Amino acid sequence: MKAVRKSTRRASSFAMLAGVLAAGLVLGVAELAGSFFSTRSAPLIALGSTFIDFTPSWLKDFAIDTFGTNDKLALFIGMAVTIVILAAILGYLAWRRWILGVAGVLFMGAVMVAAVVSRAGASALDAVPSVIGTLAGLAALRWMIVKLHAAVPAAAQADDDGVYSADEPSPERAKTGASRRAFFAAAGVTAVVAGATAAGGAVISAARSTVNAARRQLSFPDPVDTAKPVPEGVDVALEGVDPWLTPNPDFYRIDTALQVPTIDVDTWELRIHGMVEEEIRMNFQDLLDSELIERHITLTCVSNPIGGDLVGNAKWLGYPIRKLLERARPTEGADMVLSTSTDGFSASTPLPVLQDERDAIFAIAMNDEPLPLEHGYPVRMVVPGLYGYVSATKWVVDLEVTRFADATAYWTDRGWSEKGPIKTQSRVEVPKPFAKVAAGTYRAGGTAWAQNRGIDKVEVQIDDGPWEEATLAIEYTVDTWRQWTHEVQLEPGSHRIRSRAYDPDGVQVEERTDTVPNGASGWHSVQFSAE
Ligand SMILES: Nc1nc2c(c(=O)[nH]1)N[C@H]1C(S)=C(S)[C@@H](COP(=O)(O)O)O[C@H]1N2
Ligand SMILES: [Mo]
């Protein structure tokens, strides 16, 4: 009887240990997963920052008075102690009654998610690491608790007050010993995985912050050819229409990189080779020493659905790809340039497109800022008029001049077309789908694009009425998108608004097609109602 009581007591401390290890796993996994996304999603930092934000000023003053510049360290130690205590309690609860453990872990997970998501600039996506971590921790806790139950005599678990009557036969005890070893194995695995994930996450985040610090230090020479001034009239000044210049944090991001590559500018090198008279290697300083130009170019993803937002307009600073090709001198028969990024993505771009006057560039800055890491730091390609998958290689390090007959690229290997000119598109941004607007005179608006060809006209239709010509904003260049606006008269009731754009070749294709294999076509239509 005494032995059993002792084993219960020991079991509860094992349960607490299991809770603490599971909490470690939650944080470790979340840290590693977070390092793949952004530093914002690291739950510990978010929790600490949230705590600071909610700390009453008397406590803040007390902390600064007491700990001085060590106040942050004190905060982390305080957090660690709190987490260990809460986790131990949770472990104990989970052992007594699993459902309490589940509820507790999910509650803590929810607190983490709330802390992460409420940080400035955070998005719902930043919650993913906390969610993954919580699920991993829950699974590990379950695993350890099951082993623990197997290790502790059944009678010991049946009674809450520690009074039982068990005279166990020795075979039982032998089994219990084996189960106890199984528990320790589970606990050991959890501890190792927690430590490894936390360390991995820390290493990746540290590498990223070093690269980010170097990135912030970068300064660029003045371009020899600056972008022409942007007239105010490129904007129709209608609330709800996307800004003409897309701020970097709002710029869509599409790539295959599970983890954003972190490249050291000092070791970055671009090689151009293959069917060329002269092979060239260029480092970042060579690029800075070259004659840089500045251009506004609207980038579009082939996966953008009709009316979608995988499109953005930015000012790019960089070196014309044409100039590099002039120096390398492609040989007879070459018709394609295969560009490859550090992470193995590749794009096949028609050689003539990179040689003509359209200003395809190796971009090093985006909207007057060094390229953001996720947009290809330190160097990416931007080619007016082609979808990103065949031209806009981020983190670019290699250019091979070759032939379409001899090589294929990442997406062309996966069923997308070899050639990817951007299709002329227009979209309605005001009204939004299913909006309720006031009947009477209503101002609609949106954006159209036909990079490298230009938008000549946009027409708008309400229900089955006549197509009317919309007012176009000033065209900046043919490589940038163009806003439109149009006043319509609305009767009360439900309506449909459609838009269609014209490029120099005529009206945009009406037939709706899927994005595969070379981009969606079709007229955008929005349902809404007036009352
Ligand atoms: N290295 C790399 N570059 C890439 C991609 C990629 O997956 N990896 N995706 C391309 C695609 S499909 C598009 S649409 C653009 C998107 O660029 P953005 O993320 O800067 O908007 O990048 C292109 N460059
Ligand atoms: Mo894309």
Whole-number pLDDT of residue 360? 98
User: Which residue minimizes the CA distance to atom 9 of ligand 1?
Assistant: 255
Whole-number pLDDT of residue 161? 42
Q: Report how far ligand 1's centroid is from the alpha carbon of 189 (Å).
A: 38
Whole-number pLDDT of residue 164? 39
SS (H, E, C) 292-314: CEEEEEEEECCCCCCCCCCEEEE
Pairing of strands 336-341, 293-300: unpaired
Whole-number pLDDT of residue 180? 85
Closest to 314 (Cα-Cα) out of 335, 339, 296: 296
User: Which residue minimizes the CA distance to atom 18 of ligand 1?
Assistant: 253
Q: Report how far ligand 2's centroid is from the alpha carbon of 384 (Å).
A: 14
Whole-number pLDDT of residue 3? 59
Q: Report how far ligand 1's centroid is from the alpha carbon of 109 (Å).
A: 33
* Ligand lying closest to the C-alpha of residue 392: 1
Alpha-carbon distance 346 to 357, whole Å? 24
In the chain, CATH 2.60.40.650 sits at: 425-530
pTM for this predicted structure: 0.77
Q: Report how far ligand 2's centroid is from the alpha carbon of 449 (Å).
A: 16
User: Which residue minimizes the CA distance to atom 4 of ligand 1?
Assistant: 393
Whole-number pLDDT of residue 174? 61
In the chain, CATH 3.90.420.10 sits at: 242-414
Q: Report how far ligand 2's centroid is from the alpha carbon of 257 (Å).
A: 13
Closest to 22 (Cα-Cα) out of 138, 168, 192, 173: 138
Residues with C-beta atoms within 5 A of ion ligand 2: 254, 301-302, 388-389
Report the helix count and the strand count for the chain, using DSSP H and E: 11, 20
Residue range 425-530 in CATH 2.40.50.140: no
* Ligand lying closest to the C-alpha of residue 303: 2
Pocket of ligand 1 (CB under 6 A): 251-257, 299, 301, 341, 343, 345, 375, 388-389, 392-395
* pLDDT block averages, 10 residues each, the chain of length 531: 68 94 94 75 75 74 74 82 94 95 93 85 83 95 94 56 42 69 94 94 86 93 97 97 97 86 94 98 97 98 96 98 98 98 95 97 98 96 98 98 97 94 98 98 98 98 98 98 98 98 98 96 98 96
Q: Sheet holding 269-274: strands in order across?
A: 280-283, 269-274, 396-402, 336-341, 346-350
Alpha-carbon distance 481 to 475, whole Å? 8
242-414 folds as Sulfite Oxidase; Chain A, domain 2 (3.90.420)
> Taking a C-beta distance cutoff of 8 angstroms, is the pair 93, 101 a contact?
yes
